[in-house]
């Protein structure tokens, strides 16, 4: 059993195939755009991770107040920052009394 399609039917079928082909092309372009975006995000994520690592390394090299040593004039030994502040406040308190 063979069906014959009219010329109008053939034009409609051809138009549908062209529409489907355009839809697939649009979908492909959409996937390409999403793929490019993911690649850019991935590379930016790597850049940010590297920057964070550099910041962490740099911050770890900054001495904490307990490691900052200073020898006040007239004192025999070095003191850390906290001990220096304690001594200063004690002298200020002494002067206020």
| pLDDT one-digit tens code per residue, 15-47 | 999 999 999 999 999 999 999 999 999 999 999
Distances from the Cα of 24 to the Cα of 2, 28, 31, 34, angstroms: 31, 6, 10, 15
Rounded to two decimals, what is the model's pTM? 0.49
97: three-class secondary structure by DSSP: coil
Q: Percentage of the chain with pLDDT > 90? A: 75
Q: In the prediction, which pLDDT does 1 show?
A: 43
| Separation between Cα atoms, residue 75 and residue 12, nearest integer Å | 100
């Amino acid at each position: 059993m063979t069906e014959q399609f009219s010329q109008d039917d053939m034009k409609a079928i051809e138009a549908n195939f062209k529409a489907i082909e355009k839809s697939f092309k649009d979908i492909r372009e959409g996937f390409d755009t999403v793929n490019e975006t993911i690649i850019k995000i991935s590379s930016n994520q790597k850049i940010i991770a590297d920057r964070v690592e550099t910041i962490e390394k740099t911050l770890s090299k900054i001495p904490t107040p307990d490691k900052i040593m200073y020898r006040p004039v007239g004192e025999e030994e070095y003191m850390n920052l906290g001990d220096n502040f304690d001594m200063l406040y004690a002298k200020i308190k002494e002067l206020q009394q």
